[in-house]
Amino acid sequence: MQVITLKFFKTLPNCLVGIEACGSAHHWARELSAIGHEVRLMPAAYVKPYVKRGKTDAVDAAAICEAVTRPTMRFVAIKSKEQQALLTIHRVRQLIVRQKTQMLNVIRGLLREFGHVIGNGPVASMRLVKAFRADDWPDIPDVAKSMLKTLCDQVVALDDRVTFYDKLIEYHSRIDERAKRIRTVPGVGPITASAIVATIGDGKQFKNGREFAAWLGLTPLNRSSGGKERLGRISKKGDRYIRRLLVIGKTSQVQRARGYPERIHPWIMQLLERKPMRLATIAMANKAARIIWAILTKETYYRQASA
């Protein structure tokens, strides 16, 4: 099928090709660009308003044809093979982390039936899992103990896989110059820096830092009408993975501020005095996204603003 499609496009003169951004879209964009066509990827949600009544391939093709020529249409930057290969590590790591969390929840529920309570958080859970594998728990029947040890072995194996993927990501963030620059931003670690580079590359597809923050879903929804400005909660319409990483990084920075306020910028301390913790971390993540865009596009390092 792929060979037939490429043969068809090779018979056409160089032209504009519109594609909905979906599975394999980046692959086809690279292949068609290599033979001379201009390819533009569009989010499916932005193409939907141009679909007429009904749902057929012809109607969808007509909607894509009309949407790709709109001057205000927003397009998706085409990812390279290297970017998608790096994102593969992040996606597999996400899967393993979810499986590990599911296993821990099962173990926590089963142990509770025998009067053993695991503390909150992955650290306490892993500590008890390793203790259960090593020690003899006489108050648990042998059948249940055998099943629980099997689950504990799987959790430890999954934890080792997560550690391995973390080392791969850490290695990439050290050899990639863009990731090294992003890591200079407070609250941004190797996983966040690597994910951003793998997802947006140099960031030049965004006009400014606010566009990048809006793409991540970190800007407030604007529901203004009649000349009255009404800003609501954040949109959460962008890349959920990067948004979560930025918020987690800023949450750790806020927790550090409670113990070592002298090491935190005064702007953060003033923000925490005015806003609840969650609102403050969202605002900090929004600001960090804009800083990261500036670092990528201007090819510079983070410089601490004066108090």
Over its C-alpha atoms, the chain yields an Rg (Å, rounded) of: 24
Q: How many CB atoms lie within 10 A of CB 237?
A: 16
Write down the pLDDT at residue 136.
Answer: 60
Among 94-98, 108-112, 119-123, 214-218, the minimum mean pLDDT is found in 119-123
Contact of 220 with 274, CB cutoff 8 Å: no
The residue among 126 and 86 whose pLDDT is bigger is 86
- Confidence band, pLDDT 50/70/90 cuts, at residue 168: very high
Quick one: pLDDT band at residue 145, thresholds 50, 70, 90? confident
State residue 138's pLDDT score: 64
Residue 228 has pLDDT above 80, yes or no: no
Instruction: State residue 297's pLDDT score.
Output: 93
178 phi, psi to nearest 5 deg: -65, -40
Integer Cα distance of 109 and 204 in angstroms? 48
Q: Running DSSP on this structure, what letter comes out for residue 50? A: G
Q: Using CA atoms, how far apart are residues 282 and 251, in angstroms rounded to an integer?
A: 9
Mean pLDDT of 136-146: 78
pLDDT exceeds cutoff 60 at 64: yes
pLDDT, position 79? 92
126-130, 168-172, 230-234: lowest mean pLDDT where?
230-234
| Number of other CB atoms surrounding residue 202 within 10 Å | 11
Pairing of strands 16-20, 38-42: parallel
pTM of the model as a whole:
0.87
pLDDT digits (tens, 9 = 90+) for 229-257: 777 788 888 889 999 999 999 888 888 77
Confidence at residue 255, expressed as pLDDT on a 0 to 100 scale: 83
Which of 39, 1, 37, 2 is CA-nearest to residue 20?
39
Return the pLDDT at 111: 85
Q: Which two tokens stand for residue 102?
A: 């599911």
pLDDT band at 307 (very low <50, low <70, confident <90, very high): low
How high does pLDDT run on average in the chain? Answer: 87
- 172, 179 contact by CB (below 8 A): yes
- DSSP, residue by residue, 100-157: HHHHHHHHHHHHHTTT--PPSSHHHHHHHHHHHHHS--TTS-HHHHHHHHHHHHHHHH
Given a cut of 70, whether residue 65 has pLDDT beyond it is yes
Kindly report the length of the chain.
Answer: 307
